[in-house]
Amino acid sequence: MPTFSFTLEYDGTDFAGWQIQPSVRTAMGVFSDALRALTSEAPALTAAGRTDSGAHAHGQVVGCTLERDWATDELRNALNATLPADLAVRNVATRNDGFDARRDAVDRTYRYLIVCRDGRSPVMRRNAWTVRGPLDVDAMRRAAAHLVGRHDFAAFGTSPRVGGSTIRNVTSVSVERADFGTAEHGAPVLEAIAITVSADAFLRGMMRSFTGALVKIGQGRATTEWLASLVDTAATRDPSLAVAPARGLHQWSVRYEPARQDRELAA
C-alpha cells in the first residue's frame, strides 16, 4: 500500500480552519471528500499543522496511505479537477511507509502580511491585515530578534494538547517591507510588510500574537524591552497581547529531512 504526501494551497476565507468539524466547511473536509470521490477510499490523514479559521495555506502537507499505486502527476491532476477553486494540490510525492506529516516535520514557516494604509484596502482585505501606518520596521526587527531561540512562549499561545509544553525553538524571524508603485501624491500604491517565522512547531495563536506585539512596537505603543520581558516569563497567555486577525496569516512551508533512499543515492 503506497504512502503519499500532498502539498496543498488554499484560500482560508471560506473555511472554518483545517480540521474537520461538524456542520461547517473546512479545508480538511473538502480535501477528504475529493479524495474519497476519486479513489473510493477514506484513508486516515495526517497534516503538518492546523490553520485557523480564515487563515491561508501555501504549503500545507498532508499524508496518507492508499490501496492503489497512483502515478503522482495523475493523482494531482485528477484531484485538482475535482476540488473547488479555493483549494488546490500543488504537489504529490511518494513517501516511506509510516510517514506522518506532523511528526516527521523538521520545521514550519508561517508568514503574516500587513498593509499599511490610513483607509481600507479592498483588494487585500481577504489576505492581509490593514494597519494604520507607517510602521517603524527597524524597531520591529530589533524586537523580533528576542523571539529567536529555544524559549517558553506561554505568553504568546497555548499548546495544542492539554498539558503540553509551551517551549518551542524559533530558528528565524524576519520583518520585510516592500513598496509597490507610486501614486500621484508620491506615496506607494501598496505598502506591505511581511513577518516570516520559522520554528520546529507553533503554539495555538503564537504567530498571530507575535504579529500583534510587533505591530504594537512598530506603532510606537510598546518597546523592545516589553516584548523581551514576555519571553520565558509567563505560565499562561498574556492578556495584554493583541492577536492579529487570521486573514493575514499564511502557512508558508514545511520542511522534512530527505528520505533515506534519497540520502543513500546522494552518498
- Kindly list the catalytic residues: 52
Pairing of strands 105-116, 190-199: antiparallel
**Residue 39 contacts by C-beta under 8 Å, 6 or more apart in sequence?**
66, 67, 68, 70
Closest CA to 121 of 72, 54, 180: 180
Cβ atoms of residues 144 and 230 within 8 Å: no
